[in-house]
Structure 1
Amino acid sequence: MSETAPATAGTRPAGIHLDRVSVAYGKHTVLDGLDLTVAPGELMALLGPSGSGKTTALRAVAGFVRPVSGRVYLGGRDVTALPPHRRGIGMVVQSYALFPHMRVAENVAFGLRARKTPRRDIAERVAEALEMTGMAAYARRYPRELSGGQQQRVAIARALAIRPSVLLLDEPLSALDARLRSGMLAELARLHRELTDVSILYVTHDQIEALTLADRIAVMDNARLQDCGTPQELYRRPRTEFTASFVGNANLLPVTLAETGPDGTVGADLGGTRLRAHGAGAPAARGAAATLCVRPHLVGLGPGPNALRGTVAEVQWRGATHRLLVDVAGTRLTADVRELRTPPALGAQVELHFAAEDAVLLPVASAPAAVTAAPEAVPGGGGRG
């Protein structure tokens, strides 16, 4: 138990470091060689579909599953063989797991009592945690007397009361309705700003939660880490088709590569129409197949650069925008345009356009052989606004 994880920010060891961690149930691998580092004060979102391995990664950090290979470090300490109660983590799960027979203050104090915290300190810690989560006025209530959002805050207060260096959140907002979820996102963002030394691992399948809260996002699929970066990086310059389609909506158009321009953009042919796009990550060979990625809200209606003509297949009114589904050169392209007074009719011929800097070319069906998610700098780029 003397091994230590490498430092990742200045001279401080990482808050969380998974070193090539694999988990298997029998012959079925559910987490495959995960390298992941979360710095102190950083919120890392694990984003992916069901069965992608994200919850297994969180459970490996918590100590609820034992890796078949690799090591888990918390604060530079190898905790791979330690049971959950000796890892000093705070954890919040989907169901909140509050004790129905205990009042709010007693629920929050539970972890402190389990750790044999001196009685004189418990009341102070409970009051501090309830104040931080805005639940101080509800200390005497039972869970059944609280709304779903209030119960979630109590669960978070209980996790924070032990003053953990690592906080694990497993789909914490999935049981809330849209209005409560929006309010809790704001509360979690505020807590993240205040918990400057706590490493937070946040598991979700909801891209809005990840984009809103995270400093960085680790994208998981098929038990492996597919991509990792800041929300802006993954949204604006995804490296794989999977990232492009899972982190926000995306048009993925099959193209053939042409020449590279002096401005660094690359030409691409779609059904005989020449387009230009950002070329980072695209295969270099002229004539190679590639995928052009452009977000629907960056596609405009009317003439402009990278003009495409197509037939309107569907029009959806979405309040502030109209979503146009247009058949272009044998593929379906989606454009989200500001609400139109007179939207085009089904079957109408329309012209669409997008800027070269708003599109990126990707290798076809690409997935990196290995992605190491280590922070390049002190966190603060993603979700603190």
Structure 2
Amino acid sequence: MGIRLDGVSVSYGGTTVLDSLDLTVEPGEFTALLGPSGSGKTTALRSVAGFVRPDSGRVFLGGRDVTDLPPYSRGIGMVVQSYALFPHMRVDQNVAFGLRAQGVPRREVRTRVGEALELTGMAEYARRHPRELSGGQQQRVAISRALAVRPQVLLLDEPLSALDARLRSEMTTELARLHRDLPDLTVLHVTHDQGEALTLADRVALLERARLREYDTPRNLYDRPRTAFAAGFVGSANLLPGRLDRGSVRFCGLDVDAPDALPSGVADGDDLRVCLRPHRLTLGPSEHTVRGRVTDLSWRGSTHRVTADVDGHSFTAEVPGTAEIPDLGTTVELGFTRRDLVVVPAGEEP
């Protein structure tokens, strides 16, 4: 079952929180809604769930207009950040709750509860209470409960944000496995964690200021963003002012042949932004090289982050932790190739 939002707008007290959102999630696809706080991603999810009714526009599930249907009539499962488990119920009773509310026969309830717990690796904890579980285990129970009703659409509202880094990593792996094991399940996942979005999603919808800015695969959003906002928000980036001049990109005193595929809206003579990912920069000369004074150094375990001032512009490079690192205040050469260059129209940055 696919999801389609057709021109969905939502306002609260005169403030627009979702502005004419057009979004299509194909059946079996895992789509992440990513963006800064207040961008409208949770409102979009709640519109699909039925907890928010759009001021305008329509919501479709599997081609059926569900805009006016209550949540319980939409055939969806939902997992929220707070887990929302009943503390007085055992794990198996929590998972069975939705099935019993639907009037599913007792024997089938036992079967489907067992299947859902097996799917999330929680079968051995069926007789425990939520207070006896870790945060990650409680989240798996919440996912089991959502899957037990056999939804065709699963909505995830920042389900991992309350977990520590280790548990979040483990649960990201579990969600990726579930996506592989349930290829017909359509998933819409709200997150502020870029790592989750890039790891889990088939496509990422990037929202900012109530509007959809880009909708593409994680790889394309990272390697070939089409806007300055996407370039600066997804991953780390050096965003530098430049200009397109007769097929060359001029920036920071350099003249570099323009990338083969220029984004739409960029024409000769236009101001633009040059995106260079820090891990693409090397210490020492390369096909193209800039020189600057080291202004900051930080060790990050497997890498060093080196920041240099190049003619008033800040360049940050991520280099291997084994590399020989220059001292603060010294002059350093930073190199890159034409293939490392991404050009986007000049625009608002995060």
Match of 1:71 in 2: 58
Q: Secondary structure at the match of 1:19?
A: strand
Look up the match of 1:334. 316
Alignment-derived partner of residue 293 in structure 2: 311
Q: How many Å apart are 1:288 and its aligned residue? A: 2.2
CA distance in structure 1 between the aligned counterparts of 2:189 and 2:15, rounded to whole angstroms: 25
Task: Tell me what 2:241 maps to.
Answer: 254
Paired letter, 2:347: A
The 1:79–1:341 alpha-carbon spacing in structure 2 relative to 1, beyond 3 Å, is closer
Whichever residue aligns with residue 269 of structure 2, its letter is G
Q: Which residue of structure 2 aligns with residue 162 of structure 1?
A: 149
Indicate the SS of the match to 1:121: helix
Kept in 2, the 8 Å contact 1:282–1:361? The answer is no
> Cα–Cα, structure 1 residues 305 and 77, in superposed 2: closer, same or farther, change >3 Å?
same
* Residue 342 (structure 1) shift: 3.2
Q: CA deviation at 1:284?
A: 4.3
Q: CA-atom RMSD, angstroms? A: 1.3
1:120 matched to 2:107? The reply is yes
**Who is 2:117 aligned against?**
130
- 1:361 corresponds in structure 2 to 343
Match of 2:280 in 1: 298
Task: Decide whether the 8 Å contact of 2:31 with 2:188 is kept in 1.
Answer: yes
How far the C-alpha of 1:121 sits from its partner, in A, is: 0.7
Name which of 20, 25, 36 aligns with 1:33: 20
Per-residue CA deviation, residues 332-370 of structure 1 (Å, 9 max, x unaligned), is 011001124531011111111112112111111169xxx
1:133-212 matches, within 5 Å, as 133-212=120-199
Aligned partner of 2:50: which letter? G
Distance 1:275 1:259 in 2: 11
Unaligned stretches of 5+ in structure 2? none
Give the superposition deviation at 1:272: 2.4
TM-superposed deviation, 1:273: 2.1
Matched residues, number: 348
Please report how far the alpha carbon of residue 118 of structure 1 lies from its aligned counterpart in structure 2 after TM superposition: 1.5
Q: For each residue in 1:289-343, what CA deviation from the matched residue of structure 2 results, as whole angstroms up to 9, or x when unmatched?
A: 1100011000111111121111111111111111110111211011001124531
Inter-CA distance 45–185: structure 2 relative to 1 (3 Å threshold): same
- The 2-side partners of 1:148 and 1:236 are apart by 34
| 1:225-257 CA distance string (max 9 Å, x none) | 000100000000001111111111111011122
In structure 1, the partner of 2:254 is 273
Q: Contact 1:313–1:347 at 8 Å: present in 2 too? A: yes
User: What is the distance in 2 between the residues matched to 1:75 and 1:44?
Assistant: 16
TM-score normalised over the length of structure 1: 0.88
Kept after mapping to 2: 8 A contact 1:268/1:275:
yes
Given residue 271 of structure 1, which amino acid in structure 2 is its aligned partner? C
1:285 & 1:195 partners in 2: Cα distance?
45
Gaps of 5+ in 1: 1-13, 261-266, 368-385
> Alpha-carbon deviation of 1:276?
3.6
**Of 217, 231, 234, which aligns to 2:204?**
217
Q: Does 1:235 align with 2:222?
A: yes
Cα separation, 1, equivalents of 2:191 and 2:311: 36
What's the % identity of the aligned pairs? Answer: 63
Runs of 4+ in 1 over 6 A off after TM superposition: none
Q: Secondary structure at the match of 2:52?
A: coil
CA contact (8 A) 1:236 1:358 kept: no
Secondary structure of the corresponding residue to residue 350 of structure 1: strand
| SS of alignment partner, residue 280 of structure 1 | coil
d(CA) in 2 for partners of 1:328, 1:259? 24
CA distance in 1, matches of 2:266, 2:300: 39
Greater relative CO (CA pairs within 8 A, separation 6+): 1
1:24 equivalenced with 2:6 (yes/no): no
* Contact map agreement 2:119 2:144 (CA 8 A) in 1: yes
Please tell me whether the aligned partners of residues 5 and 22 of structure 2 are also in contact (alpha carbons under 8 angstroms): yes
Query: The residue matched to 2:246 in structure 1 has which SS?
Result: strand
Distance in 2 between residues matched to 1:333 and 1:71, nearest whole Å: 45
8 Å CA contact 2:303, 2:318 repeated in 1: yes
* SS at structure 2 position matched to 1:175: coil
CA contact (8 A) 2:266 2:344 kept: no
SS state of the match for residue 172, structure 1? coil
- Contact 2:266 / 2:345 at 8 angstroms: preserved in 1? no
